[in-house]
Amino acid sequence: MAVMNEPAAKSEQKGYNRGLILGLTMAESMLLLVFCLLLVAAAIISAERQKTADALRKLEIIQAELKTVKDDLSSERLEKSDLEKKVEAMLARIAALTGSASQAAEIEQEWRELVDARDALGRYKEQGLSPNQIADLKRIIEVLENADLPSKDAPALQQRLDELLAAEGFQETSKPHEWPPIINLSEAGGYFFRSGSAELAPEFEAKLSGSIADQIAESLERYQVNIIEVIGHTDEQPISRTGSNFDQSVIDVVDGRKPVTAIVPADNAGLGMARAIAVANVLKRDPKLAGASVLPMSGAQLVLPGDTMTTGQAGDVESRRRIEIRIRRKEVPATP
């Protein structure tokens, strides 16, 4: 409360001082506060713009990946399982970016239709039909449907169409024409014999009875085959022995009366055969392969990996010291 006898100027100065905040007037303080709020708002807007730009870039990347997958699908370079995995991953990423369930559902439906079309095309190809032939057959069917033929003519027309398709080789087949895979078991891949011998390393024998036997059994079922060929290959390093008991021991080893270590080969042909017998004996004991015939063979040092003949590539080469397992269907002698 101002003293009555104080000068008016002094009293006014005290009132002015009470309106100051840190040396600023109330109006100046409010302007400073508004300026700070504008700075914060600008920072928030800039951050949101950056997030939006990042999301748009990610969306462009995903769209490019979608185009790549569609291109791969049209050229049939993707397996069905790989395609489904990519579809699921892309749908999840798109849903996370867009947050739209309806858009994700539309994209999923589009992909399912592409997958169904690919599967249908695969079934037609199994029957020997090319895409052009499928298109021709589709046009023929459309013409027949629009022709409104009398019902009495339909059976004869169907019979004639079946004859034409059979003549062109379009009859159905139970399996596509595929070759069973060749299983390559080389020293470079970790499948070892004792040096100069047909004695299997314990790890090699365990794999033969496990994953390798499973793979062979799956191929036997898938390709409807019943012959397992086991081929022993060596490199071109000469064997220093001069004598061999191969002819005297091989039958006893194949029949299981002697161990494979009883065979003493004197050349690479005998060593390749002895190693093939060692692998064949393990496979013959596996109950999963009981319905198949196991035939040991020797490729000696003559056949390089990739089925090419050697021209004298000597040396210590692990990839050439290998067992190849090939499966096929038993040949039926032709009747005269």
Given phi > 0 = left and psi -120 to 50 = alpha, else beta, which region is 327?
A: beta
How do residues 162-182 score in pLDDT, each as one tens digit?
666 666 555 544 444 578 889
Token pair, residue 10, equals 């002094």
pLDDT at 15 over 70: no
Confidence of residue 148 (pLDDT cuts 50, 70, 90): low
Pair type for strands 183-186 and 24-25: unpaired
Q: Write down the pLDDT at residue 1.
A: 45
Q: Provide mean pLDDT across the span 177-201.
A: 86
The burial of 262, by beta-carbon neighbours within 10 Å (0-12 exposed, 13-18 middle, 19 or more buried), is given as: middle
Question: Phi first, then psi: what are they for 300, rounded to 5°?
Answer: 50, -140
Give the residue, 133 or 219, on which the prediction is more confident. Answer: 219
**311 CB-contact burial (10 Å; exposed 0-12 / middle 13-18 / buried 19+):** exposed
CA 122 to chain centre: 17
Q: Three-class SS of residue 193? A: strand
Q: How remote is the C-alpha of 333 from its chain's centroid? A: 38
pLDDT at 95: 63
Closest by CA position to 271, among listed 228, 229, 314, 241: 241
Q: Which amino acid is at 192?
A: F
How is 132-183 classified by DSSP, letter by letter? Answer: HHHHHHHHHHHHHHHHT--GGGHHHHHHHHHHHHHHTT----SS---PPPPE
Residue 189: per-residue pLDDT: 87
For the segment 238-296, what is each residue's pLDDT rounded down to a tens digit? 888 888 888 998 999 999 899 998 988 989 999 999 999 999 999 999 999 988 999 99
What does residue 250 show for φ and ψ, rounded to 5 degrees?
A: -65, -40
Outline where the chain has alpha helix (H): 8-18, 26-74, 80-98, 101-126, 131-147, 154-167, 202-207, 213-223, 246-254, 268-284
- Higher local confidence (pLDDT), 36 or 113: 36
pLDDT band at 59 (very low <50, low <70, confident <90, very high): confident
Provide the token pair at 46. 């800039």
Closest CA to 276 of 298, 293, 294, 251: 298
Cβ-contact 247, 333 below 8 angstroms: no
pTM: 0.48
Residues forming a β-bridge with 304 = 308
Q: How many other β-carbons are positioned within 10 Å of the β-carbon of residue 269?
A: 18
CA distance 275 to 230: 9
